[in-house]
Amino acid sequence: MTYEFAVIETPLGPAHAVARDGKLCALQLAATPPRPSSLLARLDLPRAQRAFDRAGIRSAVAAYFRGDLGAVDDVEVDPDGTPFQRRVWAALRAIPAGETTTYGALARHLGMPNAARAVGAANGANPIWIVLPCHRVIGSDGELTGYAGGLDAKRWLLEHERSFRAQRLDRIEAGCAARG
């Protein structure tokens, strides 16, 4: 197994990224202490290879922050987690940029209507920031709830996505009007 490590600059501060055999397995804001069980806490990062971007994450993250919200959609991931966590994390990728869902709705989508708390716990253990967009999951009352990077970062990401999504929709409508 080959691990690659990179520090990626973002508008929310530097992020640490780890790829394993060319697939992203961890991405987290550097200011957020890694959970003891996380790959970022377990790896000897100074010894990991620094020639990083076989996974394309550096360019995908940069494009995402420039407004290409779908740029991270094709990044291959290989997160460490239980089968249930992996199901939840895969479902996160189906939430469109700029939209939100609730823990309960996500549990129902997974065919487990009583598992909202378990979905929340899996969300909280998400090792891949932005690419597995747990920031798009909110409380049943519409309020922003727990986020490893902090609620200000969650709010910023949602506003970023809504802003660029709205701009894209405006361009599409203008193009349709010009043709119509």
Q: For residue 31, how many C-alpha atoms fall within 13 Å in the half-sphere facing its CB? A: 9
Q: Is 44 helix (H, G, I), strand (E, B) or coil?
A: coil
Inter-residue contact 72 to 64 (CB < 8 Å): yes
Token look-up 């010009």 returns 178
Q: Which residues are tagged catalytic?
A: 134
- Per-residue tokens: 104: 């309960």
- The gap between the terminal CA atoms of the chain, to the nearest Å, is 55
